[in-house]
Chain A
Amino acid sequence: MLPRVILLGPQRFRPTVGEVVRDLALEAPFALITAGWKEREGEDEELRQALGRPSYNLGLYAHASALYGEDRELHAAIRARQTRLRDLQELYRARLEPAMDAVYRLEGFVGKEEALVHPERESALEMVRALDRHHLGRVGEIREEHRTRHAPLDREPVARRREAMATRIHQAGAVFIAGGHVALLLNRLRLFDLAPILRHKLVVAWSAGAMAASERIVLFHDHPPQGRGHAEVLDQGLSLFPGVLPLPHASARLHLHDPRRVGVFARRFSDQRSVALDPGARVAWRAGGWKPHEGVRQLTAEGVTPWGMTNAPDGDAA
């Protein structure tokens, strides 16, 4: 039995989608989602080549751009919503920074009585978790308000395109979701409400695609050229799989050699398994559980550790 979702490491320098196709003997045609590449959405020759089978790009970015021209009211509403979401993210960030600073400050308290410090550390982290939950709730409210007021799925330009996409997806042996701009990708996936359709298909996703398909999207970079580098919750994802927080390019974007930072990250998002999706990584999910391929690592309270060591074909995964 095929897995439902396969998450891969970044494909730019080490493409592994072809291996997935061969290992699982996937049947073409495939549906491609490359909306995260924005205006380069159609430049998918390398991906098609790596897949080696007939593929059809669903063209979410182009379709969204076209329908914005057809339905200007909806376009204006979406822009207004995005402005509100950006502003809300800024407000969240203003609260998050001092909260995370406090967490790291307490982490740095050494030589004090541990029984005294430990509960304070946990309390500080719980405050961050509460803030994350609060933010996700506010984001959800804004999205719900938009849905209720503008009913995008009831609009003909959206419905027509969604139907055509659904047909393509139903015909596809698998759907491949590439990375890119995660918010833009998520918004296009949401605009056409593809989650219910994708749940019935094998989805292979990487980078921003893996993030968008997850339950909760967390933006992260420990050493950006500007800012503090505190991971931020952005939004709920499509929830195509449970329990895993995908971290593409983790080795490049996170200080994985710093157990304190790794530990704080893992504890903050302890309701999920934080998984490093570096080049070559591959994990598969089907109802009943996850199966990581060899070499996949996870972030834990103690630092970075391997996540499982089995290497059986994905189809044999429990």
Chain B
Amino acid sequence: MSGEDLAAIHDARLRDLATGALDDASVRRFADEHGVPLVSADRVTFVYYGRADAVHLRHWVYGLPGHQPFSRLAGTNLWFREVNLPPKSRVEYKLEVVVDGEGQWHLDPLNPRRAHDPFGANSVCHGPGYVRPAWTLPQPDARSGALVEVAVKSRVFGETRRVPLYLPARFRTTGRYPLLVVHDGSDYVDYAALEVVLDNLIDGLEIPPLIAALSNPGERLVEYPGDPRHAQHITEELVPYLEAKFPVIRRPNARGIAGASFGAVASLYTAWRYPGFYGRLLLQSGSFAFTDIGPHHRSREFDPVVAFMNAFRRAPGRPSERVFVSCGTYESLIYENRSMVPFFQGAGLDVRYVEARDGHNWENWRDRLREGLSWLFPGPLWMTYE
């Protein structure tokens, strides 16, 4: 077996491992002790151990070659790949292992960190300095809210839609609560820990107790990218239903709409169709594809997005009062999201724009929720000392 010699390994820990007897058990012990990928101040080293013709790193960092080949330590089954990752990066990836000419994508067997989404799971690399925020994890002392479900009849869609609702801890029918409509709401709960995040931010007084309507689509790729029926359903059916049944504050500055990816498009579109109704927008990694010149080069699901975005860019109006926009610098959508900022500013919106070294994924959206929600709905932290 040809390959690299020890000098090609720059991580001293891995070099030490490679100088000893290598087998599955020793590599597993090494991974348990040091954590894999190996993270140092200026680089990350991915590691694979096993019989293979080739190993590739498959990641979702836009701008880098989509697959990066591992090197083999000569005479062994130890494979490694060094990548320079900027501080606080967070990268989701898989390993493509080629055996007998056939490549298969795997989760990294040496890395227990996983991120889940509706399509499955990825391995996760925490770059130097990245730490999962404590407020995304269940806190034993935080009061818990509750999830309930309501059934909303939709004339627009000719069916009854079941909508999970987040009710804050110590919910009272005599209270008054801001309302946040969340697109892909159940995915936000399942993959972005939204329920935990709301519990923690409310308990920590960083946002006020609020009600979140966790809306889920029927046909997502039809309803979210600029479908007037969707905007009508949310604004003329869901919100009025909630206002009638729950003590929500009926003011734009206490009414928000949120979403990620196509959900962000749906949020912006709905706000644009009903200007001034939603005073708060939370748009995460919006799929804001547009074409100032010529056709777009994304999949055809983006056709209605492009039609809407082009129309929006021609006449943005003033869809809301305050908008929080976030996007990962490792996303292909970073250009589109950045380009929205001057449009929002020009439309007279109060804009907060945040970038993170992360990709188009739920944990990126999770990690930005504190900054976004506490800006859109400031809590009583400064004034309250319980």
Partner of B385, one of A40, A179, A226, A232: A179
Is the C-beta of B100 less than 8 angstroms from some C-beta in chain A? Answer: no
Chain A residues with CB under 8 Å of B206's CB are 224-225
Q: Enumerate A211-270 residues with CB–CB distance to B below 8 Å.
A: 211, 219, 221, 224-227, 232, 248-249
Partner of A12, one of B375, B381, B382, B386: B386
Complexed CA–CA distance, A18 and B384 (Å): 23
Partner of B386, one of A179, A183, A226, A232: A179
From B47-55, B168-176, B183-191, the one touching the partner chain is B168-176
Nearest CB of chain B from residue A232's CB, rounded to whole Å: 8
Interface flags for B204-216 (1: CB within 8 Å of A; 0: not) read 0010000000000
Nearest CB of chain A from residue B151's CB, rounded to whole Å: 29
Contact residues of A: prevailing secondary structure? mixed
Instruction: Please give the number of chain B residues whose Cβ is less than 8 angstroms from any Cβ of chain A in the complex.
Output: 19
Interface pair A225/B382, CB less than 8 Å apart: no
Complexed CA–CA distance, A184 and B382 (Å): 13
Q: Enumerate A1-52 residues with CB–CB distance to B below 8 Å.
A: 10, 12-13, 36, 39-40
Cβ-closest chain A residue relative to B174 = A39
Interface pair B374/A180, CB less than 8 Å apart: no
Interface pair A180/B370, CB less than 8 Å apart: no
Partner of B170, one of A12, A40, A211, A224: A40
Partner of A225, one of B170, B172, B370, B386: B370
Interface pair B381/A208, CB less than 8 Å apart: no
Is the C-beta of A57 less than 8 angstroms from some C-beta in chain B? Answer: no
Nearest CB of chain A from residue B371's CB, rounded to whole Å: 6
Chain A residues with CB under 8 Å of B375's CB are 225-226
Interface flags for B350-386 (1: CB within 8 Å of A; 0: not) read 0000000000000000000011001100101111111
Chain A residues with CB under 8 Å of B370's CB are 225
Cβ-closest chain B residue relative to A12 = B386
Is the C-beta of A298 less than 8 angstroms from some C-beta in chain B? Answer: no
Complexed CA–CA distance, A15 and B304 (Å): 58
Chain A residues with CB under 8 Å of B384's CB are 36, 179-182, 208
Cβ-closest chain A residue relative to B141 = A13
Complexed CA–CA distance, A184 and B383 (Å): 9
Is the C-beta of A207 less than 8 angstroms from some C-beta in chain B? Answer: yes
Contact residues of B: prevailing secondary structure? loop
Interface pair B374/A226, CB less than 8 Å apart: yes
Interface pair A249/B172, CB less than 8 Å apart: no
Chain A residues with CB under 8 Å of B170's CB are 40
Interface pair A225/B371, CB less than 8 Å apart: yes
Complexed CA–CA distance, A170 and B137 (Å): 48
Cβ-closest chain A residue relative to B371 = A225
Complexed CA–CA distance, A180 and B374 (Å): 19
Cβ-closest chain B residue relative to A211 = B385
Nearest CB of chain B from residue A61's CB, rounded to whole Å: 13
Partner of B382, one of A180, A207, A219: A219
Complexed CA–CA distance, A22 and B153 (Å): 59
Nearest CB of chain A from residue B305's CB, rounded to whole Å: 31
Nearest CB of chain B from residue A318's CB, rounded to whole Å: 29
Partner of A224, one of B141, B175, B381: B381
Partner of A10, one of B382, B383, B386: B386
Complexed CA–CA distance, A62 and B381 (Å): 23
Interface pair A249/B385, CB less than 8 Å apart: yes
Interface pair B378/A180, CB less than 8 Å apart: no
Cβ-closest chain B residue relative to A234 = B383
Nearest CB of chain A from residue B295's CB, rounded to whole Å: 41
Interface pair B385/A208, CB less than 8 Å apart: yes
Interface pair A219/B386, CB less than 8 Å apart: no
Q: Enumerate B291-348 residues with CB–CB distance to A below 8 Å.
A: none
Which of B170, B371, B383, B384 counts the most A-chain CB atoms under 10 A from its CB? B384
Partner of B172, one of A39, A182, A211, A227: A39
Cβ-closest chain A residue relative to B170 = A40
Chain B residues with CB under 8 Å of A182's CB are 383-385
Chain A residues with CB under 8 Å of B378's CB are 226
Interface pair B174/A219, CB less than 8 Å apart: no
Nearest CB of chain A from residue B351's CB, rounded to whole Å: 14
Which of A12, A182, A224, A226 counts the most B-chain CB atoms under 10 A from its CB? A226
Interface flags for A147-166 (1: CB within 8 Å of B; 0: not) read 00000000000000000000
Complexed CA–CA distance, A99 and B382 (Å): 20
Nearest 7 A/B pairs, CB to CB:
A225-B374, A208-B385, A207-B385, A248-B385, A225-B206, A179-B386, A179-B385
Q: Can you give 8 contacting A-B residue pairs, CB < 8 Å? A: A36-B384, A39-B172, A40-B170, A179-B385, A182-B385, A221-B381, A224-B206, A225-B371
- Beyond A211-B385, A221-B382, A248-B385, 5 additional contacts (C-beta under 8 Å) are A12-B386, A180-B386, A181-B384, A219-B382, A225-B206
